[in-house]
Structure 1
Amino acid sequence: MLIGYARTSTIAQRAGLEAQERDLAAVGCERIFVEQVSSVDVVKREKLTEALAFARQGDTLVITKLDRLARSVAHLVALLGQLEAKGVSLRILGMGIDTGTPTGKLMLNILGGVAEFEREIMLERQREGIAKAKADGKYKGRAPTARAKADDVVKLHRDGIGGSEIAKRLGIGRASVYRILGEVQEDAGAGK
């Protein structure tokens, strides 16, 4: 049995999800598991867990692209181990890879390693760029949005507005509102 798995990170990527579902149906997937969740949040990928539990010996899990399934080589290896233990192969449509063959297994491991290598190089360059910008005095980091609105938080609080409503009106988190109010109280207590 061909079992499809489709995933996008956000609801805004609906067209991409529909394209994956269409491609999986076109190759004959009898059951397709679909979810919209970040690949980083491996714990919450319930539909992937369901797909893996549903698969039986001789089945093939089909995905459109490798990044829809695994974020890292370690995660990929773990998933492949689960599939292999159940006698289930993996087919990646966009790469023409099927782990039901020795060549498919080899290619997947090589490509997964290259993808992780590229990501590490990109992150290293990003860190180097940030370090250079800091050294040149050009990198300040993200501006603290809540702190910039501290005066507004205090004014609204004095007007009798509750913390949740203040957060909503100013577009900041509730925790930030209470942190600011706590700091204002500490400053007032220290000034006595």
Structure 2
Amino acid sequence: MIVGYARTSTLDQVAGIEAQERDLLAAGCEKVFREQVSSVDVRQRDQLTLALDFLREGDTLVVTKLDRLARSVAHMHEILQHITAKSAALKIVSMGIDTSTPTGKLMLNVLGGVAEFEREIMLERQREGIAKAKRDGKYKGRVPTAQRKAKEVKALMAEGVGASEIAKRVGISRASVYNILKL
């Protein structure tokens, strides 16, 4: 069976998740697992866990891009070991990589290393830019996302809506709802 996995970092990225699903279906996926959660906290990626558990011998897990699956080379290897232990394969559409072949496995390792290197370089430049902006007094940081929705949260609370429901409707965490209400 060909199994797809789609992920975006935030709930706001509707077009991104829809595009991934479209590409996965075009790649022949019979079942697609999808989630909209940051890859930073891998413990929250329930759909990835379900997709990996769903795989059987001879199946292929398909993702559109490597960064939708793994955050680092180490994490990629951990996922790949799980897939390989089930005698399944991994296919990355954008890279044309299929780990059911020795060349595909080699290419995944090489390109995964390059991708991690590029990300580290980008983060280093970003840190340097932020440090320079701070020195120049130009860096203010971003307004917290939840705080932008404070009026909506307070209005819903005034209507008698509970914190959990407010969090769902507004797209923030329940803790953020309580933080807004403390202000």
- State the TM-score, normalized to the length of structure 2: 0.73
Aligned to 1:157: none
Q: Using the alignment, how far apart are the partners of 1:93 and 1:36 within structure 2? A: 20
CA distance in 1 between partners of 2:142 and 2:21 (Å): 40
> Where in structure 2 are the equivalents of 1:98-117 lying within 5 Å?
98-117=98-117
Per the TM alignment, residue 102 of structure 1 is displaced from its structure 2 partner at its CA by 0.8
Paired position in structure 2 for 1:159: none
Deviations 1:58-116 (A, max 9, x none): 11001111111111111111101111111111001111100111111111111111111
Partner SS state of residue 91, structure 2: strand
SS at match of 1:11: coil
- Letter of the structure 1 residue corresponding to residue 9 of structure 2: S
Map of 1:90 onto structure 2: 90
User: Following TM superposition, by how much is the alpha carbon of 1:16 offset from its aligned partner in structure 2, in angstroms?
Assistant: 1.9
3-state SS of 1:108 partner: helix
- 1:1-192, aligned counterparts within 5 Å? 1-136=1-136, 138=137, 141-142=140-141, 174-175=178-179
Q: Does the CA contact (< 8 Å) of 1:4 and 1:29 recur in 2?
A: yes
Please say if residues 39 and 70 of structure 2, whose CA atoms lie closer than 8 Å, have aligned partners that are also in contact: yes
Distance of aligned partners of 1:106 and 1:26 in 2 relative to their CA distance in 1, 3 Å threshold: same
Aligned pair count?
155
Which residue in the other structure is 2:172 paired with? Answer: none
Task: Summarize the Cα distance change of 1:50–1:117 in structure 2 as closer, same or farther, 3 Å threshold.
Answer: same
The separation in 2 between residues aligned to 1:140 and 1:100, in whole angstroms, is 48
Note the C-alpha offset of 1:134.
Answer: 4.2
Aligned partners of 1:143 and 1:98: how far apart in 2? 40
Runs of 5+ consecutive residues of structure 2 not aligned to the other structure: 145-156, 159-175
Are the counterparts in 1 of residues 5 and 62 from structure 2 also a CA contact under 8 Å? Answer: yes
Q: Which amino acid aligns with 2:47?
A: K
CA contact (8 A) 1:130 1:139 kept: no
1:142–1:15: structure 2 CA closer, same or farther, 3 Å change rule?
closer
Q: What is the identity, as a one-letter code, of the residue corresponding to 2:24?
A: L
> Is residue 99–residue 105 contact of structure 1 (8 Å, CA) maintained in 2?
yes
Q: Evaluate the alpha carbon distance shift between residue 17 and residue 174 of structure 1 in structure 2; reply closer, same or farther with a 3 A threshold.
A: closer
Residue 31 of structure 1: CA displacement?
Answer: 1.3
The one-letter code sitting in structure 2 at the alignment partner of 1:25 is: L
SS at match of 2:12: helix
Shift of 1:6: 1.1
